[in-house]
Structure 1
């Protein structure tokens, strides 16, 4: 996927360029990670997937490392988090109206958020970063963000997570904009994650769209795996039948306290996180817009 927003551009122009950026179809992509190199071909949507194996008799270094993807004339880097074997939990999270306020139930505000906001101006759902930081067992969990935001907004989403101090190491799975991607895009990704990582799972979403129905379906397909489902009340929550066995919350501390009761979050972390005021939003440097 090609993207070239300039440093002097506005949020609107950057978003329009992202959405209109043409894809590199059939490009030969060289991927380098730690001591491994692989060559893959990009799909029709410009994306690619690569499975890497460490050299024989070795293991990838646990923790964050930088991966590089390059094609002729261009390259980019990304942070990759290698999960330790002791990872106790997989947290699968939505983004829009779960972590970032995008007002999906209000079309005019949704369009404004999609086009006029960026990682430096998108409003955060207060308390969610603290909630996620306190989720843990013997060690921190791994996080996967599965969202209907367009794949072209990947730099914007990653910038938002970093700016608001969400835990590092999110795997981000966004939607390719196309005629076949308007519905049913979340379930295959979540299924694959649960099959790939045989861990207990926590699902977090919001009530504005179909997260409750999707998560109920996943819970049924993977009996015993889903330890909790947390749904932020973002509207369309009058029908209690949508939330069987789920925690519907308005304040992130409600979810955090419930997770403590299940042994999914650290009580002292929750107490500390809500004993101090939320961190101030970092200032935006003039002429240095976020990616």
Structure 2
């Protein structure tokens, strides 16, 4: 039995299992500007639960959406009520009350429905921030082995935020990006991981010491998101945030092509593109004017030369990086 058939069998087996009746609100950690912030999430009609990673993951993926839920969303004293759509999703853009501005830095937003409430972090990116890092997740930050279906299924369903492994060195690389800037950079994670995995992805980032304040933009699984789902999100981010951007992904699927397309559409906005070697690297043309790396230290040393990271931070994060490796970095 191949991986997709096994996955379908597991979904059918657990989708009909009893679940708790209480609803759940998922609110995505967000990035905003002093003048506005867009908050989005999903309302589930039931609370996924289980005694193992497998049951929790599958029940998250198969939980019923709550259409028509009245969701109260609040941030920094601004409150709005929105109605969840067909798939349980909701989105609202909030502006500061009284014509003021949201203070830069990390804050908390709230979302509630009858019977459930939640919070999520919001990073208000200061206008002087040096750049915005837009990152992939699977095989860029977390080892997911997307190019190997059996291992992909195991990582997606049998692991959780506590057991999925991080790509070595990536927390240190991200921690050094913009570390000496007057205002901290922003971080946006645009991933094919399903939106139901918001708690799992956020927990993974916290557990492995990635910078705080990531905005999470996960995929709403469905026929319309089978391909080309990243470009609209990245375009929206580049329209909302005027900052230069650093793009980080991997070679396993289409990140090089997606990032090349974005670079062409937004000339002068992309400071650097870093691509982790996760296979499928035989065609060198895919990585034109990008940094293809196997070790995170290689990307970090390039970031020093490109003025994106301070040398002292990279030296502390990667003490084994040799002068020779630094001299050979593009």
TM-score, normalised via structure 1 length = 0.92
| 2:102 equivalent in structure 1 | 60
| 1:264 equivalent in structure 2 | 308
Cα distance in 2 between the residues matched to 1:47 and 1:86: 32
Give the RMSD, CA atoms, in angstroms: 1.4
Cα distance, 1:43 vs structure 2:
2.3
Q: Which runs of 5+ in 2 are unaligned?
A: 1-42, 321-330
Q: Deviations over 1:132-174 (max 9, x none)?
A: 1111133321000000001111110000000001001100001
Matched, 1:39 2:106: no
Q: Deviations over 1:25-56 (max 9, x none)?
A: 22211001111101112222222111111112
Cα distance in 2 between the residues matched to 1:47 and 1:130: 34
Matched, 1:4 2:47: yes
| 1:286 equivalent in structure 2 | none
Q: More strand by proportion, 1 or 2?
A: 2
Cα distance in 1 between the residues matched to 2:182 and 2:261: 29
For this pair of structures, how many residues does the alignment match? 276
Cα distance in 2 between the residues matched to 1:199 and 1:219: 14
| 2:90 equivalent in structure 1 | 48
Matched, 1:145 2:206: no
TM-score, normalised via structure 2 length = 0.81
| 2:319 equivalent in structure 1 | 275
| 1:100 equivalent in structure 2 | 142
For the residue of structure 2 that corresponds to 1:68, the secondary structure is: strand
Cα distance in 1 between the residues matched to 2:91 and 2:237: 14
Matched, 1:225 2:269: yes
Cα distance in 1 between the residues matched to 2:197 and 2:232: 20
Runs (4+) of structure 1 exceeding 4 A deviation are none
Cα distance in 2 between the residues matched to 1:156 and 1:245: 33
Matched, 1:198 2:238: no
Q: Deviations over 1:174-193 (max 9, x none)?
A: 11111111101000000000
Picking from 5, 15, 18, the partner of 2:60 is: 18
Q: Deviations over 1:79-118 (max 9, x none)?
A: 1111122211000000000000000000000000011000
| 2:71 equivalent in structure 1 | 29
Cα distance in 1 between the residues matched to 2:68 and 2:309: 44
Q: Which runs of 5+ in 1 are unaligned?
A: 277-291
Cα distance in 2 between the residues matched to 1:155 and 1:190: 22
Cα distance in 2 between the residues matched to 1:44 and 1:167: 34
Cα distance in 2 between the residues matched to 1:191 and 1:212: 16
| 1:285 equivalent in structure 2 | none
Picking from 259, 263, 273, the partner of 1:215 is: 259
- Range that drifts further, 19-28 or 149-158: 19-28
Cα distance, 1:229 vs structure 2:
0.3
Q: Larger radius of gyration, structure 1 or 2?
A: 2
Asked if structure 1 preserves the Cα contact closer than 8 Å seen for 2:126 and 2:183, the reply is no
| 2:290 equivalent in structure 1 | 246
Asked if structure 1 preserves the Cα contact closer than 8 Å seen for 2:48 and 2:63, the reply is no
Picking from 153, 160, 163, the partner of 1:121 is: 163
Cα distance, 1:220 vs structure 2:
0.1
Cα distance in 2 between the residues matched to 1:107 and 1:13: 20
